[in-house]
A and B are shown apart, each in its own frame.
Chain A
Amino acid sequence: MLYKNPYNHYFDYVVQRDIDKCIRCKACVTQCSYGANYYDADRDLIYSLDHNCVGCMRCSTFCPTDCISIVRNPDAFRLNANWKDHNIKDLYKQAGTGGIIITGMGNDKPFTNYWEHMVVDACQVTNPSIDPLREPMELKTFLGRKPDKLEMNKNGDITTKLAPQLILETPIMFSAMSYGSINYNVCESVARASKELGIFWNTGEGGLPKALYGYGKNTIVQCASGRFGVSPEYLNAGAAIEIKIGQGAKPGIGGHLPGEKVLEGISETRMIPVGTDAISPAPHHDIYSIEDLKQLIYALKEATRYEKPISVKIAAVHNVAAIASGIARAGADIIAVDGFRGGTGAAPKAIRDNVGIPTEVAIAAVDERLRQEGIRNEVSLVAAGGFRNSSDIIKAIALGADAVYIATSALMAVGCTLCQQCHRGRCAWGITTNDPELSKRVNPELAAERLVNLIHAWSNEIKEMLGLMGINSIESLKGNRDRLRGVGLSEVELQALGIKQAGI
């Protein structure tokens, strides 16, 4: 090589291989979709091109003799508290290419994680806890507009006309991931799991593949600014429609599925020609105000004869509470608020890591505002953006969410190792790629089983947590902030979350 671009040298990972243990099976070579491993027949050795390694662990996982370890590149810049490694590397990359840096998944920067500063209450002596293994425990969740009051006739039948509701067996749904950003096999996995679990998955803005229309009863279809695949059939295929205004990973910007990813199936589902860029404008150009949003909400209600709840998804931003109030008043049945740790198939890194607010504070602010205005019952609140486990979910519900959306966690159940290369379309785990060979790495049946396992496990943990609080229904935890306390937070932070300091 005559000239080596310096930024090529500052790679993140090194593939270490124990030659004594290596049996030259070449599994690492075939498994790596980034070209980081190759076999040299002359020397009968496997070598690595470390600068191609993304740290996804596919090769080390599939190495039958465990001879590979992926380690962080020990080659270190001089320690500098201001110029961190990633600052330096990004700068070099941009000086070399002149490009906007694109990345995948959610914000990975060390912002305060409020879930980790909240603890849950438990019953001791005065109020008996409940054992969910032996006593009924209700996780069933209804999403949609609730009436101000219920009227019944003498027989006890409800006579009030109820708005359409989504009925969830557990307060967890799979968040929007479009066909195109993930491949068909992953879409099918998520759809299957939703059906088995009695919950919902969300198509994202890429349309609903024809072969998945059978999962419509467990599907939320999305209508985003690009209107890809939006047809009367599509709008009526799902159980609810979600208007996507924003996404936590990239608030305020549109989307862009590059032409390379628009293959036959995606082209058909999005209803755009093969190989063309699928550009979603930053705003919906028919929505420049709350009144315009109302217009689209009711256009969708009219199109589905008022039979389906309409959700509006926004990114959590500074004025989220006021915006949510406007959305509720515009007639939405569900508001989904996506915090800045939410993932994405591709976003400019500068935006992913610096725009938006954490879902914890957003949910607290929205719930509080809607209560103050006396309209909390008119809309359900779904929290999204970085849920890692059942305790994050319990806390979100205690802060005021009706249910949560998960996507990163769902992909991890399918195999994702958070290497943040989704935008490259070469996912070695076969998830965020449409390459037919790589896509085969996800078996919808097995992946669905793992998703079902995860949600069952979390649901059981949620039941345990409810039981120890002496609560036998998830309804009783909603917005019940008295069951949370803050640890290690300032007075202002406690105020923003609407919780008390531990010990008080």
Chain B
Amino acid sequence: MGNSIKIDAQGVYYKLLNQKIHDALGNGETDIELTRVNGQRYIADGLKNDIRITINGVPGNDLGIFMNGPVITVNNNAQDAVGNTMNGGKIVVKGMAGDVCGYGMRGGKLFILKDAGYRVGIHMKGYKDLNPVIVIGGNAGDFLAEYMAGGVIVVLRMFGRKNGESVTGDYLGAGMHGGTVYIRGGADRKRLGKGVDVAGITDADRGLLKGIIKEYADDLGLDADSILSERFEKLVPLSTRPYAKLYTY
């Protein structure tokens, strides 16, 4: 066990707050609790350390951008671009998250208890042992998984929107050319973007999902078995080379 420290973020400008975090890391702290956070941006931006950060309050945009290692727990909602261009580590949001979460994400995990906004998981990609995972407990907005090149997105539709509203928004998986999106209860075919198709899940998928959902449920105090008991469908790219035949010279 390392050292732990509490930092009161009320009224602290983001630049100063992040400097305080860096100072704490410099002092060898490995467990940082931020209290009364209110929209401060860039928390854990580019951090590579093996540390834990607990955030009480609502963190601002770009939480964990470029991050490669820390485990962050947000005991509230989060704003936009959580896990933007993230390389590794884990972010658990015990509430909703905004738009553009996980943009260009290459590794690590982003667990959101409730809804996520628009443009989530755009251009997610995997590489060797890096396989980014986003789990959204509620619903997702338009453009989910656009340009997706790798990794896994799971949408659970457990909380959130009114009856009759779709689990995802429009342009779902448009331009997707790698990776997988799992949707609990089935995908809404009307919402599909160009270049994707819907398929049933296989045993291999079930095994993968089980591992992901188990960890998600543990982190968020949910029952994995009841989540997994529903039917899942997956989105798959029609081609891994969607634009191969578009050009001449």
A: residues with CB less than 8 A from B are 93-94, 96-103, 225-227, 230-233, 235-236, 256, 258-259, 267, 271-273, 276-277, 279, 281, 285-286, 295, 298-299, 302-305, 348, 421, 423-424
Knowing A272-B127, A304-B46, A424-B249 are in contact, say whether A258-B244 is a contact too (CB < 8 A). yes
Closest-by-CB residue of B relative to A7 is B248
**Contact present for B244 and A299 (CB under 8 Å):** no
**Contact present for A271 and B130 (CB under 8 Å):** yes
Residues of A within 8 A of B42 (CB): 298-299, 302
B66 within 8 A of A: yes
**Contact present for A303 and B65 (CB under 8 Å):** yes
**Contact present for B177 and A279 (CB under 8 Å):** yes
B184 within 8 A of A: no
**Contact present for B103 and A286 (CB under 8 Å):** yes
Closest-by-CB residue of A relative to B146 is A285
State the Cβ distance, B55 to closest chain A Cβ, in Å. 16
B125 within 8 A of A: yes
Residue contacts A-B, CB under 8 angstroms, 8 given: A226-B104, A226-B123, A230-B85, A230-B104, A231-B87, A232-B66, A277-B242, A277-B244
Residues of A within 8 A of B245 (CB): 99
Residues of B within 8 A of A421 (CB): 249
User: Which 7 A-B pairs give the minimum distances between C-beta atoms?
Assistant: A99-B248, A303-B46, A227-B104, A97-B248, A302-B45, A302-B42, A232-B46
State the Cβ distance, A286 to closest chain B Cβ, in Å. 5
State the Cβ distance, A451 to closest chain B Cβ, in Å. 28
State the Cβ distance, B116 to closest chain A Cβ, in Å. 14
B: residues with CB less than 8 A from A are 15, 18, 22, 41-42, 45-48, 61-62, 65-68, 81, 84-85, 87, 100, 103-104, 106, 119, 122-123, 125-128, 130, 143, 146-147, 149-150, 175, 177-178, 240-249
State the Cβ distance, A255 to closest chain B Cβ, in Å. 11
Distance in angstroms between the alpha carbons of A267 and B68 in the assembled complex: 19
Closest-by-CB residue of B relative to A254 is B147
Residues of B within 8 A of A295 (CB): 41, 61-62, 81
Residues of B within 8 A of A256 (CB): 243
Knowing A94-B248, A281-B147 are in contact, say whether A259-B122 is a contact too (CB < 8 A). no
Distance in angstroms between the alpha carbons of A285 and B142 in the assembled complex: 13
Residues of A within 8 A of B122 (CB): 281, 285
Distance in angstroms between the alpha carbons of A98 and B245 in the assembled complex: 9
Which of B66, B87, B122, B123: most chain A CB closer than 10 A? B66
Distance in angstroms between the alpha carbons of A256 and B126 in the assembled complex: 17
Distance in angstroms between the alpha carbons of A271 and B240 in the assembled complex: 17
Knowing A281-B122, A302-B18 are in contact, say whether A93-B248 is a contact too (CB < 8 A). yes
Set B15, B84, B106, B249: member contacting A299, Cβ < 8 A: B84
Residues of B within 8 A of A277 (CB): 149, 177, 240-244
Distance in angstroms between the alpha carbons of A424 and B122 in the assembled complex: 28
Distance in angstroms between the alpha carbons of A231 and B149 in the assembled complex: 17
**Contact present for B123 and A232 (CB under 8 Å):** no
- Other A-B pairs, 11, CB within 8 Å; known A102-B247, A259-B240: A226-B123, A227-B85, A231-B87, A232-B68, A235-B66, A258-B241, A271-B106, A273-B127, A277-B244, A285-B123, A285-B143
Residues of A within 8 A of B150 (CB): 272-273
Closest-by-CB residue of B relative to A104 is B249
**Contact present for B240 and A299 (CB under 8 Å):** no
Distance in angstroms between the alpha carbons of A258 and B149 in the assembled complex: 13
Knowing A285-B146, A298-B42, A304-B46 are in contact, say whether A231-B127 is a contact too (CB < 8 A). no
State the Cβ distance, A261 to closest chain B Cβ, in Å. 12
Knowing A232-B87, A285-B122 are in contact, say whether A99-B246 is a contact too (CB < 8 A). yes
State the Cβ distance, A7 to closest chain B Cβ, in Å. 10
Which of B45, B175, B178: most chain A CB closer than 10 A? B45
Residues of B within 8 A of A271 (CB): 106, 125, 127, 130
Distance in angstroms between the alpha carbons of A51 and B172 in the assembled complex: 44
Distance in angstroms between the alpha carbons of A305 and B143 in the assembled complex: 33
Which of A103, A232, A271: most chain B CB closer than 10 A? A232
Distance in angstroms between the alpha carbons of A225 and B246 in the assembled complex: 21
Set A97, A101, A258, A302: member contacting B46, Cβ < 8 A: A302
Set A103, A231, A272, A303: member contacting B45, Cβ < 8 A: A303
State the Cβ distance, A227 to closest chain B Cβ, in Å. 3
Distance in angstroms between the alpha carbons of A96 and B248 in the assembled complex: 10
**Contact present for B66 and A303 (CB under 8 Å):** yes
Residues of B within 8 A of A305 (CB): 22
Residues of A within 8 A of B104 (CB): 226-227, 230
**Contact present for A281 and B248 (CB under 8 Å):** no
